[in-house]
Structure 1
């Protein structure tokens, strides 16, 4: 009776513990300016000589999103979903849906509102990240075109 081994072992690539793979994925994502697709993140990780499957990257990003560590935008079209690391300290961004560029912003009224919303509903340790989507000035078609 033969025992099936994981693909990484069959291909001679040592298997990494899930926590190490997760750390690599999140560290590379944290180094990206703005948003990135999972396939692009996979290429960046592979370029560093690390063998982590695209499906592992998707699973890790999904889990990290549910933990509030990753923000996901659904852009549609060929780009699909794009991901951005959300540092433990919250932030706010205007995000271009065409090119993915982002600009940080602050808003005292939002901060005040978020400070009260958690306790109002019995929540503690509330974090937030806000992305406002639109089209940046460089991507807006000119009327001359």
Structure 2
């Protein structure tokens, strides 16, 4: 079922587009609250889920298990490299991963397999800063 395009959903989408890297619903809600939008946390969660479902936002789980979102810049299936320190995100192609997923699923009798692959590490700037400290 398609989500209605309300002003609240549009404001959440706009805030997400102006956020660097991935962000939690709570963090985005705090930003919207500080701007006195009157948008509640439940509305932020619903809007983000709808944006992720329609491909307007990327969604992933952090290593701690928290759902994080960002405005999607690449349509269709893709993967990410994500800096654990600053949140810098790079969209990557992963042909070898795609082939591995299909082969592994097939070897176990599965069809229509889907997968999510996100790689967390330190970007060059954060690694250099850490090494200087």
Q: Normalised by the size of structure 2, how large is the TM-score?
A: 0.60
Two-structure CA RMSD over aligned residues (Å): 3.7
User: Aligned pair 1:109/2:114, yes or no?
Assistant: no
CA distance in 1, matches of 2:75, 2:91: 16
Which structure: larger Rg? 1
* In the alignment, structure 1 residue 24 sits paired with structure 2 residue 10: yes
Secondary structure of the residue aligned to 1:110 is helix
1:133 to 120, 123, 126: 120
1:74–1:82 Cα contact (<8 Å) kept: yes
- CA separation of 1:104 and 1:90: change in aligned 2, threshold 3 A: same
Q: How many residues align?
A: 120
Deviations 1:6-48 (A, max 9, x none): xxxxxxxxxxxx623474266333564531232443325875x
Out of 71, 74, 84, the position equivalent to 2:70 is 84
Look up the match of 2:110: 121
Are residue 97 (structure 1) and residue 84 (structure 2) matched? yes
Q: In structure 1, the residue corresponding to 2:70 is in which secondary structure? A: strand
Task: Provide runs of 4+ in structure 1 moved above 6 Å.
Answer: none
